Structure 1
Amino acid sequence: MTDVAIRPATGLGPVTRRRRPVAAAVTFVLVAALTLFGPLLAPHDPTESVDMPFAPASAKAPLGTDYLGADVLSRVLAGGQTLALVAVAVLVLTYLAGATAGMLAGFRGGWTGTVVMRLADVLMGLPALVLLAVVVTGLGRGVFGAAVAIVIVLLPDVVRLTRTATGQALAHDYVEVAVARGESTMSILGREVLPNLTPVLAADAGVRFVSAVYAVATASFLGLGVQPPSPDWGLMIFENRGGLGLQPLAVLAPAVILLTLLLSANVLADRLVGSSQGVRVPRFRRRPAMSAGAPAADEGADTVPDAVVSVSGLTVETVADGRAVVDGVTLAVGRGQVLALVGQSGSGKTTTALALLGHARPGLVRSRGAVNVLGTELTGLRERSLRRFRADHTAYVAQDPRTAMPAHLRVRDQIDEVLRARGVPRAQRAERAAAALRRANLPDDPAFRSRWPHQLSGGQLQRLSLAIALAHEPALVVLDEPTSALDPANTARLLAEFTGICRASGTAAVIVSHDIAAVAAVADTVVVMYGGAMVESGPAARILTAPVHPHTRALVAAAAPGPSDHDPRDAEPILRVRGLSVDLPGTGPVLTGAGLEVAPGGCVCVVGASGSGKTTLLRAVAGLVPARTGSIELAGDDVAPSVARRSAEQRRRLQLVPQNPYDSLNPRHTVGQIVARPIRQFRLAAPHEAAARAVDLLEQVGLSAEHAGRRPAELSGGERQRVALARALAARPDVLLCDEVTSALDRTVAATVLDLLNRLRRDTGVAVVVVTHDDLVVRRMGGAVLRVADGVVADAESVGTVP
């Protein structure tokens, strides 16, 4: 089966469904058992002669004899053990060496990465058989020489794979937090990177095992591996090839069993790789109709004329316990219309939006209802047809473009790939790409189009995702929190421009958002979700001015600014930054002469448009990007510009809280392990007390001891952000550096997190520096406000806090 990969900006990634390879699994297990335990079943000593050479089958030798007169059956039963053990040993050594080298090359970069990758390229460029012959000649014929040679042959591929996967893993916020905390290289690679490479490496190992078995058998066939008279399948084929006409079983028996092992292992490896890269599409399971409460709405979904997408009675449940995540949703969107799905984290709005594309996340299943797009019922399509339909007619913009966008493609290639897949002629792609960038309020000059994703700000990445989604003019576009990384001015402008394009082109748009005020300004219809159900829907103006449901009223109230109260701090600053300037490779100056001061228990809000340099300022203070000029003082002591040159005590006292709660926690660790790590790293408690201290910190941020045993995937966005705060507080810092900590949260949860930060300031005296584009943060946090524009602190002011 050939899988069609759909880019995150235009689809939902590779989606596959494969039958379980039961026959291949059973065959592989049987052959594997034979290779390991076959010698115990051999009726004769496989090295002793029992009859004349190449004797036919007989009662004494059921498969006849080989060129030495030894029993073929006994040699076949005994001939796989060495091969299997050597192949496994080769595989283990290859991954130990290759994964270590690949991770170091990806993490260190520079000369380390260059040397490792050039050596891998040299080894890859040499013919495998020549390399095998040269190494065996140097080390001598036999199992050891052949094993070393095969490790060298397989090593380059593993190095390249690991380096690429490491580069992707390093883009996650939880790795950056570990770097800012001063974790050692081996700790970062072993604790943060390697656990997330394990699924990729495990899937690749299945394929590589087949290569290892084949290589070991080939070495024996060439007389370079196992030496006579030891039994070996590859050696048997080589030794008995001259008597094929006299006694074919002496060659065919080892050849057939070797081929069976390779084919069954290859089928299983193919399925393993497919399952690691794809997502199973759950079958549409019909169940008896269930009653669902009707939401407060101004008009029914079935009254929308010329609907591009219509949903009727959609119910999505968990596979494990049948709990309804989305319950009885009915809606429709016409051509050129904009529908906004709003609600708290966990309300079911993203699950509903994905269902419009015929997709359910792992662990969920559509149990009831219909989804119709452009007259096509998606629940009845096969996987291949569904993927093709999505690619041709829909687009999807993920919430976090940093992890959803390929890191190895430049800006121009990101858009060109989409246009090429849609059959747009090469001559038209450049202009179409430039137009898409302009529509998203991005530069369309050659310099910008040559940038890599890591050279763009979060806001620029989000706008690039929108440009990619609109480049092929889809009939339906679904956007998951498309403006979470943008400031209010850019949010309003981009949403207005985006919806204007949709209305002009007849594209139906569904926007998932927690910012009800922002999306209501451009949406035709607002659907409010709570607990998986639609609780209210209607025209945007009515929802904002006369909300009916209590949850809707709470969302509207949270979006409104509150009263202020001055929050002066006159103590000596704990953190003082002066004249900080930062240049980024390939970008030039991004921050010039910036400074700030914050006292214990105080707060500084750094605000500005997307790409203005405010996050660069925070990262420079954290030591993650080198400052060209300027100074940083912590409690009166100078702090080195690079985190690597700072003392452990300085790294402890400055703690970073990343922007995205969905990417700031390592999915392979439990909450308790995540929070306890800084305690162990900085030796702030005895090893046996770290777990209990972690529970205390979770309770301090409003969570319970029960959360310590969960993994991040089991938490809501607000709970994840609280865990990130608990992890930062575990180091007992003097200053928290918070990067857009509420941008991915709905208004009510964001207000709760901000109140928590204010309480921590008051109770612990920790100072807070907050980068934000949200006026709600400024109003609730109070303190000093630094406004950054084009890399320069334009002005400073002081505001109060919301009581």
Structure 2
Amino acid sequence: MRPRWSAVGLAVLTLGVAVWGGGLAPHDPAASIGVPWAPPGDGAVLGTDSAGRDVLSRLLAGGRELTLTALAASLIAGVLGLAAGLVAGWWPAGRWLTAAADLLLALPFLLVALVLAVAVPAPAAVIVGTVCGGAPLGLRVVRDVVRDARRAGYVEAARCRGESAGAILVREVLPSVAGLASADLVLRFIMALQLTAAFGMLGLGPEPTDADWGLMLRENLPGSSLNPASLVAPAAALTVLSLVAVWPASAPAAGPRAVAGTGGAATGSFLSNERALLSVEGLTVVDGGGRVVVDGLEFGAGPGEVVAIVGPSGGGKTTVVRGLLDILPHGLRRTGGTIRWHGEPVRPGRGARRWRRSTVGLLDQDPVGALNPLLTVGALVLEDSRCDASEARLLLTSLGLNVDELWERRPGSLSGGQAQRVALARTLLGDPGLLVLDEPTSGLDPDTLDLVVKALERRREAVTLVISHDTAFVERIADRVLTIGAPPEKGPALRPSSKPSGETVLHARGMALGHGDRMLLEDAEITVRAGELVAVLGPSGAGKSTLLRALAGLHPPEAGSLSLGGEALAWDVAGRPREALRAVQLVGQDPAGALNPAHRVGTALARPLRWFGGSSAMEARERVPVLLERVGLDPVMVRRRPGELSGGQRQRLAVARALAAEPSVLLADEVTSALDAATAEGLLGLLAELRADGLAVLLVTHDRGVAAHADRVLHLADLEHSRTETDIRAR
């Protein structure tokens, strides 16, 4: 049984005993059976209390009212906080709810509850006090999560389908905040439990003849030396109930299943361990079912060397790195292998944590998610570094970033490439002895890539491990290459699509597009024809992703007109009819945020099939495996969640979800950036087949090899750094 479900079962059982335990009492809880505070004996397992009543019987019966009151108070406070947080996070008018919450937080909820307890029954006072003290905190937590979720790819995909705000909140946002809501509910329960017990101890709760744990504490304190069990038993019951309530929220859920690929087949030339600064010997990782994911891997790296780890998407490259760093996700465990640094073994656990803190710099596959959205760029780069601001600014400049412009910005206002370079600078600052980079170039243009290469070349005395699908980048920087997993099968050959029909599918004219206080496009015109692949190139931060979001209806421009199939089309997605929503589909740049982490793959793909195609639930489930196979994924993934998949697998799932709507125009933002060459070729082959049937594709990419397959290439320049006005018309 999964750990979390075991914890939930125990919590339910404990609550059941607390509420209905009185039925198991061996004596009448209100009847005297002996002298006061008699020690435990044959007639009373826990002895007697201040009135000679059986302690065990009162203990079994004393949790009912207290537990029910705490449950009612926590449910009311939790539901109110959750509902208000959803509204405050989604709609601007929700700021009035936030203001009301701030007002309640200014009131001392304990004092409010005590005053009310004098005038109204104690349960009502507990409920009001818990709501005043708990609901505002729940609102603030949920509100912030909802604000972040609004920018997530899975929510934007639902908006592009035309789903209502209520449906999106229920289907997409609510599952993603369910964990936080349940944890908040537990905290409110414990707060209400303690408040109820405190009222009993103060004499503000039940009548003296009633069985109640709080009242038992008050009554038996004077006789604790005569029969300690009369005092310890109710205190222990309150403690156990609180701990068992917390356990389900803190217990780990089932860990991720290992992604496809063995990870154990490694090829390449390696430095002998005697000469290595970093040496990996016999690294073995297995999943929860005992299946080997990484099998006996060995390699070494000397000072100043760069080892590139390559292989097919989902082959286990990230697992190798996380295994040697001792940061495997739940569900995977290292069963063998020795990691040595400077010849000394790095022991798992505390030793590995110290080593990572003092030696390792890690850039994860999702750099945007690694940046605290509340901090500015300057604060982020300097957060864990002993370097001063001048060194940080110099490093950011060396990576092609305008420091004066970006220093006070937050991650939400950065492009994908800019966020990636900020995360890279954060990792490079301080020159860590071991630098680990997971797909560090996926969102970078060629000019910026040159700057990253130069930054890595300056690391003369340290070791660098790089995971990458970019063959050209690997050839430039790697001293040796470690291939993980079986070599990928060659994807389907790219066959030329039929010649574009000449019929215009999507046409934007006179478009003026900005982002914040920056103007990205002025008087721009874009035409995409049926069956055509149009590639959009340009430097990071020039507005390529914003352009696609504008065409998808998520970022309406300041001026311009848009038409679909010759018919005028509203810029805002909320004003588009369902058929237009189906016809224009967007695949965003961020694979990590593209899919709802709370939904299984089957659920994510079935939704557009039912929404646009009118398929029944059963029909949608039958079509999902076909969609997975079309993008080169194993149908067994239908039961997995996004966290169990690699970045490349998530990227292809986002494409499959967009294709499920059978669109006329596909707006694709860097859909091959996390794919190996063979898998990318297969995906482009699929798009070529669909283009033969009339699909138009507008593709943002930094890969000139991918752009070479396009019918036309549009170049988007950065207005702030170019002397001429941007012209995005086809050349």
- TM-score, normalised to structure 1, is 0.80
CA contact (8 A) 1:439 1:467 kept: no
User: Is the partner of 1:302 in helix, strand or coil?
Assistant: coil
CA contact (8 A) 2:361 2:435 kept: yes
Matched, 1:322 2:291: yes
CA contact (8 A) 1:578 1:632 kept: yes
Query: Bigger shift: 467-476 or 728-737?
Result: 728-737
Q: How far off is 1:744 after superposition?
A: 1.2
CA contact (8 A) 2:382 2:388 kept: yes
What's 1:651 paired with? 581
Q: How far off is 1:389 after superposition?
A: 1.7
Q: How far off is 1:457 after superposition?
A: 0.4
Q: How far off is 1:729 after superposition?
A: 2.5
What's 2:317 paired with? 349
Match for residue 271 of structure 2 among 277, 297, 301: 301
User: Is the partner of 1:580 in helix, strand or coil?
Assistant: strand
Change beyond 3 A, Cα 1:656–1:434? same
Match for residue 109 of structure 2 among 115, 118, 128: 128
User: Is the partner of 1:123 in helix, strand or coil?
Assistant: helix
Q: How far off is 1:475 after superposition?
A: 0.6
Residues 418-465 of structure 1: CA deviation (Å, up to 9, x unaligned): 12xxxx3xxx632232233223322222x4211110100000011011
Q: How far off is 1:61 after superposition?
A: 7.2
Change beyond 3 A, Cα 1:179–1:250? farther
Matched, 1:775 2:697: no
What's 1:616 paired with? 546
Q: How far off is 1:526 after superposition?
A: 2.5
1: CA distance between counterparts of 2:642 and 2:407?
Answer: 35
Q: How far off is 1:229 after superposition?
A: 4.5
CA contact (8 A) 1:46 1:231 kept: yes
User: Is the partner of 1:442 in helix, strand or coil?
Assistant: coil
Residues 489-530 of structure 1: CA deviation (Å, up to 9, x unaligned): 2113322x2213312xx2221111011111211222223333
* Pairs within 5 Å for 1:389-400: 389-400=355-366
Matched, 1:518 2:494: no
User: Is the partner of 1:311 in helix, strand or coil?
Assistant: strand
Q: Which AA in structure 1 matches 2:337?
A: G
2: CA distance between counterparts of 1:57 and 1:359?
Answer: 50
1: CA distance between counterparts of 2:335 and 2:37?
Answer: 64
1: CA distance between counterparts of 2:251 and 2:682?
Answer: 39
CA contact (8 A) 2:75 2:185 kept: no
2: CA distance between counterparts of 1:708 and 1:758?
Answer: 25
Q: How far off is 1:169 after superposition?
A: 3.9
Change beyond 3 A, Cα 1:572–1:201? same
2: CA distance between counterparts of 1:250 and 1:653?
Answer: 80
Match for residue 678 of structure 2 among 730, 743, 748: 748
Change beyond 3 A, Cα 1:722–1:124? same
What's 1:677 paired with? 607
Matched, 1:415 2:395: no
CA contact (8 A) 2:381 2:423 kept: no
What's 1:457 paired with? 415
Q: How far off is 1:63 after superposition?
A: 6.7
CA contact (8 A) 1:578 1:593 kept: yes
What's 1:366 paired with? 334
Matched, 1:105 2:62: no
Change beyond 3 A, Cα 1:266–1:57? closer
What's 2:657 paired with? 727
Q: Which AA in structure 1 matches 2:286?
A: E
CA contact (8 A) 1:580 1:594 kept: yes
What's 2:714 paired with? 786
2: CA distance between counterparts of 1:272 and 1:30?
Answer: 12
Change beyond 3 A, Cα 1:773–1:461? same
1: CA distance between counterparts of 2:227 and 2:579?
Answer: 69
What's 2:138 paired with? 158
CA contact (8 A) 1:131 1:153 kept: no
1: CA distance between counterparts of 2:45 and 2:285?
Answer: 60
CA contact (8 A) 1:95 1:158 kept: yes
Change beyond 3 A, Cα 1:119–1:134? farther
What's 1:406 paired with? 372
Q: Which AA in structure 2 matches 1:41?
A: L
CA contact (8 A) 1:574 1:600 kept: yes
Q: How far off is 1:398 after superposition?
A: 0.7
Change beyond 3 A, Cα 1:601–1:674? same
RMSD: 3.7
CA contact (8 A) 1:355 1:371 kept: no
User: Is the partner of 1:366 in helix, strand or coil?
Assistant: strand
Q: How far off is 1:158 after superposition?
A: 2.1
Change beyond 3 A, Cα 1:219–1:648? farther
* Pairs within 5 Å for 1:326-337: 326-337=294-305
CA contact (8 A) 1:136 1:149 kept: no
Change beyond 3 A, Cα 1:390–1:59? closer
* Pairs within 5 Å for 1:173-572: 173-227=153-207, 229-238=209-218, 240=219, 244-245=221-222, 247-248=223-224, 255-265=231-241, 267=243, 295=267, 297=269, 300-302=270-272, 305=275, 307-323=276-292, 325-378=293-346, 380-381=347-348, 383-419=349-385, 424=386, 429-445=388-404, 447-495=405-453, 497-503=454-460, 506-531=461-486, 568-572=499-503
Q: Which AA in structure 1 matches 2:297?
A: V
CA contact (8 A) 1:206 1:265 kept: no
Change beyond 3 A, Cα 1:508–1:694? closer
Matched, 1:632 2:632: no
Change beyond 3 A, Cα 1:44–1:274? closer
Q: How far off is 1:133 after superposition?
A: 3.2
1: CA distance between counterparts of 2:627 and 2:650?
Answer: 14
1: CA distance between counterparts of 2:456 and 2:630?
Answer: 43
Note the residue ranges of structure 1 that are not aligned, 5 or more in a row: 1-19, 281-291, 532-549, 799-803
Q: Which AA in structure 2 matches 1:582?
A: L
Change beyond 3 A, Cα 1:255–1:578? farther
Change beyond 3 A, Cα 1:639–1:133? farther
Q: How far off is 1:43 after superposition?
A: 4.0
Q: How far off is 1:42 after superposition?
A: 2.8
CA contact (8 A) 2:318 2:438 kept: yes
Q: How far off is 1:271 after superposition?
A: 6.2
Q: Which AA in structure 1 matches 2:345?
A: E
Change beyond 3 A, Cα 1:402–1:639? same
CA contact (8 A) 1:590 1:613 kept: yes
Change beyond 3 A, Cα 1:668–1:258? same
Note the residue ranges of structure 2 that are not aligned, 5 or more in a row: 257-263, 720-724
Q: How far off is 1:717 after superposition?
A: 4.9
Residues 191-217 of structure 1: CA deviation (Å, up to 9, x unaligned): 222223333444454444332211221
CA contact (8 A) 1:52 1:69 kept: yes
What's 1:141 paired with? 121
2: CA distance between counterparts of 1:677 and 1:624?
Answer: 20
CA contact (8 A) 2:271 2:300 kept: yes
Q: Which AA in structure 2 matches 1:672?
A: G
Residues 258-289 of structure 1: CA deviation (Å, up to 9, x unaligned): 42234335555676666559999xxxxxxxxx
CA contact (8 A) 1:220 1:227 kept: no
Q: How far off is 1:330 after superposition?
A: 2.3
Residues 289-326 of structure 1: CA deviation (Å, up to 9, x unaligned): xxx988453xx421674x33112232323331332x22
Q: How far off is 1:674 after superposition?
A: 1.5
Q: How far off is 1:789 after superposition?
A: 0.5
Change beyond 3 A, Cα 1:716–1:465? closer
